[in-house]
Structure formats: C-alpha cells, structure tokens
C-alpha cells in the first residue's frame, strides 16, 4: 500500500486512540525509573516464522508520540521473516520507545497473524484458477488494517463494507420477495456488478435466468459444489463460502470455483510472536 493509504485519517486516528488508551496521562513506570534525557535503540524481532504485515504503522506511531530520530524498516509487508530476524530498528528518546512498545507490538502481532494465515490459504490453492477472498468478519474498527494484512499474505480483498459492492444474501432475497425480484430491483438502481447467494438449485437457475453475473454458493461440500458449477457451465463466476478451512480449501478450488472465501484468516488468526528489545544508545 502507498504511504498515503496507510496514513489515512481513519488509520491515524486508530493509532492515536490506541496510544491514548495505553499511555493515558503518562507512563508512570518509565517516568519513575528512566531519566528524561536518555536515548536508546530498539529492535523489533520475529520470534517465529511469519509473514510481515503492519510495518508501515511504525513511523506513524512514533510520529504521533514524538521523540524518535531514526527508524529503519528492514523488512517489507508480505515478506517472510524467520525466527530471530530483525524487522525494524529505531533510535530515539527512551521514554518514547518504552511508551510505544506495547501498542506497536499489538498491531504488528495481530496483523502478522492475519497475513500469515492468509498466506497459508493462498498457498493451498496455488496452481489452480481459484483465488482466495477475505470477508467482513474482521475486528471492529480494524477492518482496513486487517484487509491490508490479508493482501500482504497473498489473498484478494473482497468488499470493504456494505457500500462498495453488491452482494445479495439470503435475508435480502427474503426481504425483496425472491431471487428475481432482488436482482431486478438491484439492477434498476445500481450499476455495480451483482453477486447473489443461492441456496438451492431452483434459486441457482432463477438467478442465472435473471442474468446474475456472480453466484455465491454457501455451505456445499466440494462434491456438491462441483455438480452445481457444472450446471452453471461458465454462465456466471462462482464463489464458494461456508466452512472453508485450510484442510478443504484445495478441494473447493479443484471443484471449479473462481473464488473461495473464508473468514478464518481474520476472525480466528493467532497473534504472532514478536518482541521489542531496547538498549542504551
């Protein structure tokens, strides 16, 4: 992502609030035992193999707090880091480095966890035509950052929210009065491509007859998905979702899907092990 994207007002505000939450009126431990004038160097270190995400947040965190004179990012988002590798080095006021340590690590550990999980999913479908999509099952308030992290891991971003893509799901169909009604009403009011979830073969056929461009098939087995995709026969692109895991994503891809989506890489990602080590400068 470009510098301007990472420094969007929403992301900067998220970081500002995280620092405010942790530091409050002041870091009483640092104020008590570390001289105000002391400078130090710090290193961010991977403590297990991981895919890096979130490194561009570090300069923003330190700028918000002030007192950092040099920061070098040694790895880029999307890079694989091995156990013991140094990700970044920083030099500045010891007070600043200590005050920002936990917030910086919290973001890095979370986003690296998402990126690492995403890379595992992407690797599983390598060599097929299928692409893995992320979902909206993200941590509230951190969606944009977690979407950046899945992208760093090699996954394709699905819609950011309800505002940038049409996805007609089962409850929309119920509220609209059926598949055809939902598609026709949407087409009359929106120029965006239409994706619609279908739960039965009858709904699938109705959606195709109504000219749906993209179909979401939910909660099928890979074998069932292959049958449905055969019936679609290229008339629409196909996304498979529901119960997609690392263990079965390859089977779904080989069933003929254009896309598979999984919320697991965001809602169930494990925070990766990173540390920050400080020494006097």
Q: Catalytic positions, please?
A: 102, 137, 169, 197, 218
Asked if residue 203 lies in contact with residue 231, where contact means CB atoms within 8 angstroms, the answer is no
Asked if residue 73 lies in contact with residue 55, where contact means CB atoms within 8 angstroms, the answer is yes
Residues 6+ apart with CB under 8 A from 197: 167, 168, 169, 170, 173, 215, 216, 217, 218
Burial bucket for residue 50 (CB in 10 Å: 0-12, 13-18, 19+): buried
CA diameter of the chain = 74
Phi, psi of 88 (to 5 degrees): -155, 155
The span from the CA of 217 to the CA of 223, in Å, is 13
CA pseudo-torsion sign 245, 251, 254, 257: negative
Asked if residue 280 lies in contact with residue 38, where contact means CB atoms within 8 angstroms, the answer is yes
The span from the CA of 45 to the CA of 43, in Å, is 6
Classify strands 39-46 and 50-51 as parallel, antiparallel or unpaired: unpaired
């Amino acid at each position: 992502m470009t510098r301007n994207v990472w420094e969007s007002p929403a992301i900067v505000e998220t970081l500002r609030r995280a620092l405010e939450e942790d530091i409050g009126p002041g870091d009483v431990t640092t104020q008590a035992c570390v001289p105000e004038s002391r400078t130090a160097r710090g290193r961010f270190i991977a403590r297990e193999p991981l895919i890096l995400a979130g490194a561009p947040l570090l300069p923003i965190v330190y700028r918000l707090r002030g007192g950092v004179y040099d920061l070098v990012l040694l790895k880029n988002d999307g890079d694989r880091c091995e156990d013991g590798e140094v990700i970044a080095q920083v030099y500045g006021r010891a007070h600043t480095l200590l005050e920002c340590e936990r917030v910086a690590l919290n973001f890095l550990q979370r986003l690296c966890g998402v990126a690492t999980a995403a890379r595992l999913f992407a690797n599983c479908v390598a060599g097929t035509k299928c692409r893995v999509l992320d979902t909206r099952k993200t941590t509230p308030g951190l969606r944009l950052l977690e979407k950046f992290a899945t992208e760093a891991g090699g996954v394709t971003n699905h819609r950011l929210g309800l505002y940038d893509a049409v996805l007609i799901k089962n409850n929309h169909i119920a509220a609209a009065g059926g598949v055809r009604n939902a598609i026709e009403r949407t087409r009359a009011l929106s120029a965006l491509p239409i994706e619609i979830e279908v739960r039965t073969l009858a709904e699938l056929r109705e959606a195709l007859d109504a000219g749906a461009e993209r179909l979401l098939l939910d909660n099928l087995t890979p074998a069932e998905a292959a049958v449905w995709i055969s019936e679609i026969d290229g008339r629409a692109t196909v996304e498979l979702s529901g119960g997609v895991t690392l263990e079965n994503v390859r089977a779904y891809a080989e069933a003929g899907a254009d896309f598979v989506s999984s919320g697991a890489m965001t809602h169930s990602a494990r925070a990766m092990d990173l540390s920050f080590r400080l020494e006097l400068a």
